[in-house]
Every structure is written in C-alpha cells, then in structure tokens.
A and B are shown apart, each in its own frame.
Chain A
Amino acid sequence: MESTVLKVSDFSAYFGDSQILKNINLETDSNFVTTLMGPSGCGKTTLIRCVNRMHELIPGARVTGKMYLKNDDIYGMEPIVLRRKIGMVFQKPNPFPMMSIYDNVIAGYKLNGIRFPRDELDNIVERSLMGAALWDEVKDSLHRKGTFLSGGQQQRLCIARALAMNPEILLLDEPTSALDPKSTSAIEELIVELKKSVTMLLVTHNIAQAARVSDYTAFIYLGELVEFGPTDKMFTVPKDKRTEEYLTGKFG
C-alpha cells in the first residue's frame, strides 16, 4: 500500500545569482501529510513551487537535481501535463471571480479544453465539493459567482478545484495564512480528512499547525533541509540543535 509519491534528490534552486535551495533530499509516501516548516524566507515556498514548476513563471529561475512524481521525472515532462497531476492551493483564496462556483470546480477541465458529458461533470463537481466539505453549504447556489463566499469557504472551493483533477499530490502553500481561526480549524480538519484519499505537501510557518495535521515534517532553514522525520518524533526529540531552537521559539 505504501509507496513513494514524490521523490526529491540533490535538488537546488537559484533565482539569478542567489541560491534559494541547497541540495534538498526528500521523499513523501502516499496518503500522508508532509509539512515543510521553517522561518519565512527559508525557501519552503520555493521548494513547493518547484514541485509543479510554478517557479518557471518567474524569469531568472533555474534548478539542478531531480524530482520524481511516482517514478516520472518531473523536469522531463511538459509543465502543463505535470501541473494537471499536481493540485495546488495558494496562500490567499483565489477562486476565479468571473466564473460560477460550478465552473470554478471544473476550471481545470475548462481551461484545458477537456469536455465531459454534463452528468459526468455534475458528478465531478459534487464529489469534489464533498471532498472539500463545501457541498452542503453551496449546493443550492452552484451557479452563482463564488465571490459571496467567506474566505474559508473560498479556500475550500480552491481545494475542491484542485481535487477535481484527481491530483496525485496536493500542494498546500500556507493555505490558512489569510484566514481567521475558525476557518483555519475547518481547513485543518479537512486536511486530516483528505489524508485518506490524497497525498499532501503542506507549507506552513505555524508550528502548532504542523503538529496538528502532519505525519512527517521537514524543517528547512536558510535553504537547507535541516531535519526530516515523523512529526511526533521531531517535535519531542529533535535531532538537530537548530530544529530545537526553532520549535522552542528561539528564532523565526
């Protein structure tokens, strides 16, 4: 049952002359939540963006090393093919304001010009919204624009949008940083629930959040992977001094 979904080996990233990531090695197994944790500016967001090659949108970015998604070389495929297999949820909820809730969920198919019969689309929408624990709240207003939703609901809509593509891994880039505490805990519950069906990579600078939701944690500091292991172990007996200092709030 357990298998490697994402494998990162000897991976480095640069923007122009400055090196953002230094020789990262990492593996995530299916149906686990792995957290990338570290102070802001440490490179955790860069790492997650390198997984679906979003960093390539910024001129001057380049990488060395390898990444594999279920044995497929990530840097050997077309980005548009790769990104369909990897879901991503951003810091700020960003549903498409000009689309209805329904269209937002199937935006991945719509944008890529993939057509399905209506009933199958209905199916995808219902399943994805259920997966994102949003179905009951929006099922009567599917064809309204999503802008009336609260921030937390919008973020769950974005999760539904990512789930609709049946991603092999879901990247969550500080998904609760723009949300209030109540919406945050709703998203955290959702992450724990989703673990049954999808592998997740979560970026957070919130130590407590990492402890609450993740199975494995990677601590990144100044572009380096300092420590990687099961969350409970790392939080109780950190091996590295820097990890300990970070966890006890000495810096960051």
Chain B
Amino acid sequence: MKDHTTARMIKDKVFRATVILLACFSMLPLLLILYFITRNGIAVINWEFLSQLPRPIGEDGGGVFNAIVGTAILIILSSILSIPFGITTGIYLSEKSDGKIAHIVRLCVVVLQGTPSIVIGIVAYLWVVAPFHSFSAISGGVALSIMMLPVIIKATEETLKLMPYHLKEASLALGVPYHKTILKVILPTGINGILTGILLSLARITGETAPLLFTAFGNQFMNWNLFKPIDSLPYRIFYYAMSPYPEWHAFAWGASFMLVAVVLGFNLIARGVAAKWKVQF
C-alpha cells in the first residue's frame, strides 16, 4: 500500500517535470529564431539599407526601400478592398446570427480562413494577372484582401455579439432607427474589437509570401504604378534567401528583422487598442 502510494506520487512528479520540460523545450526554436534575426538583421540595418534600392550583385551597398514601400502599398490596397466588406458582413452575422444565410456565410468564412495562401495566389492570378497580362500591385492586393476578409468578419461578429442588449434597447427606446442604432451606437462601442481584428489581419498578411509569388511578383526597381509588379519585404526575403550570394543572405536577414518588427508591432498595437479603447459596461 505504502509503496503503491509512493510510486504514484513519483509518477505524478515525473509527469509534471516532463510537461514543464517539453513546454520549455518548445520555446527553443523561438529563442533561436529571434536570436538569428536580431544578430544577423541588426548587422545590416542602417540608413542606406532603409533608403536605397537593391543593387546588382557585385556592387556594394543598396537597400530594400522599394520593398518597404511595396509592402506599405499592398497593405493599404488590401485594407481598402477588405475592411468595408469585412465589417459589413460581420454586422450581418451578428444581427442575423441564427438565420440560414448566416450559417452558410459562417461556413464560408471558416473555409476561406483555412484556404492555403498559395491557392488564393493562383486564384488572384487567374482573376487579375491573366486578363491584364501583367503581374501587378492590384492583383497582390486582391490576394491579400481575400486573406484579411475572414479575420475581419470574425472579429466584427464576435465583438458585436458581446455588446449588451440593453445598449441597443436604450437607443431604440429613444426612437433612433435601427440602422442608426447599429452604425452610431453599437459599432462605435465595439470599435476596439473591430480595430484589433483589423490589426491582427494586417499582421497576418504583412508576412505572406505565397499569394504574392504570381501576383505582385516582385520588382527590384521602385514602382508606383499599381498595374505593374511591385516588391514587398517577404518576397525580397524569399528572393535573397534562395540566391547563392552571402551578401544577399545578409540582406534577407535585415529584411526579416524589419518584417518581424512590423508584424510584432501590429500585434502589440492590436493589444494596446484592445485594452485602451475597451468600453466598460
């Protein structure tokens, strides 16, 4: 009896130690990745890196200015395309939450969210690139906006569903029409959740490379024309990483450092927004 108890207690301790060990061990890759990015990335980041265009191999210096601008343009494009649709659909889902259409839409959102980014890249290619016979910033924006859409819809729906019913009642009781109640009372109250969702979706797409391979493609020159190929940070990282030149590998790390900074920045701001703009009931 005594032995049995001791054995059980040892087993308990061993299990606990194993869990802690495995959990901590799975943090090892993160530490290594952050270490590599920081060590290799900071080494190449300077003003030139941020402000110059890429130079051909063999020439010293150069930077990734075009990729930074390209990523910014892609973010703006995809936001313009996805945010209005996303929020409107989110409102629909929270208002008609038990309707038949809502169930179908929700299923579609789940499927869209799980669709591999490379598939979305192909679709954007077939929709935008093929008809215009050119890779373009627009096609990249279309691909990325399809990826943003489900995140924004979900965030909007879930935020609005959390709004207490008495808020809506209070507004309706004042004689405010239903649509104004939604737009002027419910939506502003839930703005922190929706903004958080948008920021998280931006964090998701900023690092996406696969959908850009056949859409925005990449461009070693500066380009402001939305109908021409455009560069982006993730594409630049891919391009440099797969090249055989150590100088370009170093640039890939520098671009990675910036990309991670931007993605984590979006995440941090999202958290800040979630906490700061939260309306207390």
| Residues of A bordering B, CB below 8 Å | 78, 80-81, 112-114
What residues of chain A lie closer than 8 Å to B8, measured between beta carbons? 80, 112-113
Interface of A (DSSP majority class): loop
The answer to whether B4 and A81 have CB atoms under 8 Å apart is: no
| Residues of B bordering A, CB below 8 Å | 4-5, 8-9
The answer to whether B4 and A78 have CB atoms under 8 Å apart is: no
Interface of B (DSSP majority class): helix
What residues of chain A lie closer than 8 Å to B9, measured between beta carbons? 78, 80
The CA-CA distance from A81 to B8 in the complex, in Å, is 11
The CA-CA distance from A78 to B9 in the complex, in Å, is 9
| Distance between B16 CB and nearest chain A CB, rounded to angstroms | 14
The CA-CA distance from A46 to B8 in the complex, in Å, is 27
| Distance between B161 CB and nearest chain A CB, rounded to angstroms | 28
The CA-CA distance from A112 to B8 in the complex, in Å, is 8
The CA-CA distance from A80 to B9 in the complex, in Å, is 9
What residues of chain B lie closer than 8 Å to A78, measured between beta carbons? 5, 9
The answer to whether A80 and B5 have CB atoms under 8 Å apart is: yes
Given contacts A78-B9, A80-B9, 8 further A-B contacts (CB under 8 A): A78-B5, A80-B5, A80-B8, A81-B5, A112-B8, A113-B4, A113-B8, A114-B4
The CA-CA distance from A174 to B10 in the complex, in Å, is 35
The CA-CA distance from A78 to B4 in the complex, in Å, is 13
What residues of chain B lie closer than 8 Å to A80, measured between beta carbons? 5, 8-9
| Distance between B281 CB and nearest chain A CB, rounded to angstroms | 26
The CA-CA distance from A80 to B7 in the complex, in Å, is 12
Q: Would you mind naming 5 contact pairs between A and B with Cβ atoms under 8 Å apart?
A: A78-B5, A78-B9, A80-B5, A81-B5, A113-B4
Q: Which residue of B lies closest to A112 (CB)?
A: B8
| Distance between A57 CB and nearest chain B CB, rounded to angstroms | 14
The CA-CA distance from A205 to B5 in the complex, in Å, is 37
| Distance between B1 CB and nearest chain A CB, rounded to angstroms | 9
The CA-CA distance from A121 to B256 in the complex, in Å, is 63
What residues of chain B lie closer than 8 Å to A113, measured between beta carbons? 4, 8
The CA-CA distance from A80 to B5 in the complex, in Å, is 8
| Distance between B3 CB and nearest chain A CB, rounded to angstroms | 12
What residues of chain A lie closer than 8 Å to B4, measured between beta carbons? 113-114
What residues of chain A lie closer than 8 Å to B5, measured between beta carbons? 78, 80-81
The CA-CA distance from A113 to B1 in the complex, in Å, is 11
Q: Which residue of A lies closest to B11 (CB)?
A: A113
